[in-house]
Amino acid sequence: MRGTFRSVSGREAAALTGMHAAWLPDEAFRPLGSRHTVVYGQGLLVATVLDEMAIAGARHGGTVRHGGSGRDGTADGADLVLAVASGSTAGSGDPEGFALARRDGVTTLVADAPAGLLYGLYHLVRLGEAAFGPDRPMEHHRPALRRRMLDHWDNVAVHPVMGQVERGYAGGSLFWRDGAARGDMARLRAYARLLACVGVNAVAVNNVNVHATEAHLLTDRLGEVAAIAEILRQYGIGVHLSVSFAAPMTVGGLATADPLDETVRDWWSQATREVYRVIPDFGGYLVKADSEGQPGPFGYGRSHADGANLLADALAPFGGTVRWRAFVYNHRQDWRDRSTDRARAAYEHFAPLDGQFRDNVILQVKYGPVDFQVREPVSPVIAALPHTRVAVEIQATQEYTGQQQHACYLGPLWSEVLRFRPWGTDGIAVADIVAGGGLATVANAGADDFWTGHPLAQANLYAAGRLAWAPDADPLSILDEWIEMTFTPAGTSDPDRLRRVLHAVLDESWLTYEQYTAPLGVGFMVRPGHPYGPDVDGYEYTPWGTYHFADRDGIGVDRTRATGTGYTGQYPQPWADVYESPDRCPDELLLFFHHVPYGHVLHSGTTVIQHIYDTHFAGAERAAEMRRQWSLVADLVEADLHIRVRERLDEQVRSAEEWRDQINSYFYRKSGVPDAGGRRIP
Ligand code: GCW
């Protein structure tokens, strides 16, 4: 029995659309595709599993049989059994989980629900032949985070400044093109399949900055959203829409968007009812309100709880969720005003509202208090609302981490965030706090032939999904998985060299990027607007609230309670005191929390100024070494992929040298302190 659609394999997707396969190349299915498989269960996602297996079987010589809706207990000559068995004791108790065992030459995967079967299938693909070796005792798998979301900042109409995708570095949008739906369903299906493979179960299809055209997706252009939902549904992914708080006025023609106004409440109820009529499994709304020019409840003297609850009430009858972003701050700050601290803003706005949000509100918080910098402390907001569901937001699109020109594997950064324990070593971790709210990742894929512009940036998309499923996973093991699933090294003439080089390029690439850009957690120092490349004072006298305060004596932002902005007081103990003290504050965050003289000695034993010189020389050298490493695998990967990465590494090396020289020169000129190593500072 087959579904009414046919899924596409990696190679087919590439042939259909001219795109390169990402992870899940056909070869990855050989271990499964060469087996005799019986599948039990019914429903859309079971049909997807059957399709995957049928294609793999046809390619690799195996067979697949649909055993019907219920498992009758026998494997019937099969060596792989994939079964949905509701209420089964073998199940995991989670509709997305599965149990796996191998006995007497039969590998059996049992899920409570079809979604678990699909995730189990991709788990088997990752295991490869290991799933068919010696007996395996029963293992249970389930996602640690319930909601594993990708937020696309895609515009429908090309925005005059931000383009088709805001902060998009991967070609156009997979969903939209020049004001219309892109309509490339084969590509969309291939994308959905990649996402399901890493466990993503929710996608927002438009930018949180909702412009005029995009506002209509909620109403008269809902059909275009439904067409996307139709594809994503086949891979267990629920569609979400970013909506404008002003929609009742801009698309509804009302005179107000006041959340306490009855006509406004009715408007949202009606609009939402229509959404669910057209898309019954619609996920919910994502809202950026009162932030960077977006409308919100403040305009009516109402709170963000009033605003979020308005939408939550409209969604509740249908089981939908409103994701309300905590990214609210004054972007028209006077740089002369030392009492305002952008880092404090989200906590000040939201912590007092704890307990006031409806159950179907998720407060979506950026991982750091400022804005997706290469190094920030974990946002204190995550720990400040015990009675509110909280999600943490990370940025796969590399706005501040090299814009997919630079190789920068962010798995280790995100892993640190998810493992951070706001109440110290005995307390729970961020991953525990967000178990219900989940992880939301600003997406980095687009219409680019390699999906992500920089082919190695695929690793970030992969890791975002896998870390949401298993926040404790080692990010370097995730990288191993991605390498195996993408490059099938075993199929090349020198698997070890290929693996070694990919690790040499990516393992420490996040720390390398940190080394040659803004030092010790101080952030920014980028060109205003597009924020790429160095500009030490680029944001220093702007209204954006992102300052470093360097003068001839020292650098850094005093965020202490004793003498600074008081931001350290937003943390529970022990961090409130650890960050308060320049002696206890971790080196890598020193300048985020403290203004110190250039001669301040770090725990590492070196002075701040010497650290700046050393890391910038080292970072640029490491970028050059990444490029050298990559040159060693020209014979092991597709030629055009090799060239694309090489071109990007050329740019990374150039840019890293530019960063090195601008930062080093700037601080040498400010401080007058020479480099102890006597190296050339222009
Ligand atoms: O970092 C900033 C970006 C904006 C973005 C904003 C946000 C979508 O520069 O482009 O807007 O964050 O997260 O809302």
3-class SS of residue 393: strand
Rounded CA separation 345/79 (Å): 58
User: What is the reported pLDDT for 69?
Assistant: 75
Residue 546 C-beta-side C-alpha neighbours within 13 Å:
24
If we measure between CA atoms, which residue out of 164, 173, 276, 174 comes closest to residue 226?
A: 276
What average pLDDT does range 562-572 have in this prediction?
A: 98
Instruction: Share the mean pLDDT of the chain.
Output: 95
What is the Å distance from ligand 1's center to 365 Cα?
A: 13
What is the Å distance from ligand 1's center to 327 Cα?
A: 9
- Summarised one tens digit per residue, pLDDT across range 546-560 is 999 999 999 999 999
pLDDT of 163 above 60: yes
Amino acid residing at 450 = F
What is the Å distance from ligand 1's center to 235 Cα?
A: 28
User: What is the reported pLDDT for 68?
Assistant: 82
Residue whose CA lies nearest to ligand 1 atom number 12? 371
Helices and strands: H and E segment counts in the chain: 21, 20
CA 670 to mean position of chain CA atoms: 37
Q: Is the peptide bond before 95 cis (omega within 30 degrees of 0)?
A: no
3-class SS of residue 395: strand
Question: Does ligand 1 lie within 6 Å of residue 208's CB atom?
Answer: yes
Give residue 373's pLDDT band: very low, low, confident or very high (50, 70, 90): very high
Residue whose CA lies nearest to ligand 1 atom number 2? 371
User: What is the reported pLDDT for 370?
Assistant: 98
Question: Does ligand 1 lie within 6 Å of residue 209's CB atom?
Answer: yes
Q: What are phi and psi of 121, to 5 degrees?
A: -55, -50
Place of tokens 């298993």: 470
Give residue 422's pLDDT band: very low, low, confident or very high (50, 70, 90): very high
If we measure between CA atoms, which residue out of 288, 249, 286, 293 comes closest to residue 161?
A: 293
Q: Do residues 10 and 21 lie in contact, with contact meaning Cβ atoms separated by under 8 Å?
A: yes
Work out the burial of residue 455: count CB atoms within 10 Å of its CB; fewer than 13 is exposed, 13-18 middle, 19 or more buried.
buried
Rounded CA separation 679/493 (Å): 42
Pocket test for ligand 1, best of 153, 210, 244, 544 (most atoms within 8 A of CB): 153
- Summarised one tens digit per residue, pLDDT across range 304-363 is 999 999 999 999 999 999 999 999 999 999 999 999 999 999 999 999 999 999 999 999
Rounded CA separation 392/380 (Å): 11
What average pLDDT does range 161-188 have in this prediction?
A: 97
Non-local CB neighbours of 432 within 8 Å, separated by 6+ positions: none
pLDDT of 7 above 80: no
Give residue 6's pLDDT band: very low, low, confident or very high (50, 70, 90): very low
**How many beta carbons lie within 10 A of that of residue 57, not counting itself?**
20
Place of tokens 């002075």: 607
User: What is the reported pLDDT for 9?
Assistant: 57
Give residue 71's pLDDT band: very low, low, confident or very high (50, 70, 90): low
3-class SS of residue 103: strand
Question: Does ligand 1 lie within 6 Å of residue 166's CB atom?
Answer: yes
Question: Does ligand 1 lie within 6 Å of residue 371's CB atom?
Answer: yes
**Nearest 5°: CA angle at 67, between 65 and 70?**
155
Rounded CA separation 475/498 (Å): 18
User: What is the reported pLDDT for 405?
Assistant: 98
Question: Does ligand 1 lie within 6 Å of residue 327's CB atom?
Answer: yes
Question: Does ligand 1 lie within 6 Å of residue 671's CB atom?
Answer: no
Q: Do residues 522 and 557 lie in contact, with contact meaning Cβ atoms separated by under 8 Å?
A: yes
Give residue 21's pLDDT band: very low, low, confident or very high (50, 70, 90): confident
**How many beta carbons lie within 10 A of that of residue 158, not counting itself?**
16
Q: Do residues 46 and 39 lie in contact, with contact meaning Cβ atoms separated by under 8 Å?
A: yes
- Summarised one tens digit per residue, pLDDT across range 459-470 is 999 999 999 999
- The residues that are catalytic are 292, 371, 399
What average pLDDT does range 441-448 have in this prediction?
A: 98
Residue 166 alpha carbon, nearest atom of ligand 1: 10
3-class SS of residue 604: coil
Pocket test for ligand 1, best of 155, 290, 292 (most atoms within 8 A of CB): 292
Question: Does ligand 1 lie within 6 Å of residue 288's CB atom?
Answer: yes
User: What is the reported pLDDT for 3?
Assistant: 33
Q: Do residues 297 and 244 lie in contact, with contact meaning Cβ atoms separated by under 8 Å?
A: no
If we measure between CA atoms, which residue out of 406, 401, 414, 416 comes closest to residue 454?
A: 406
The DSSP code sequence of 173-213 is: -SSEETTEE---HHHHHHHHHHHHHTT--EEE-S-SS--HH
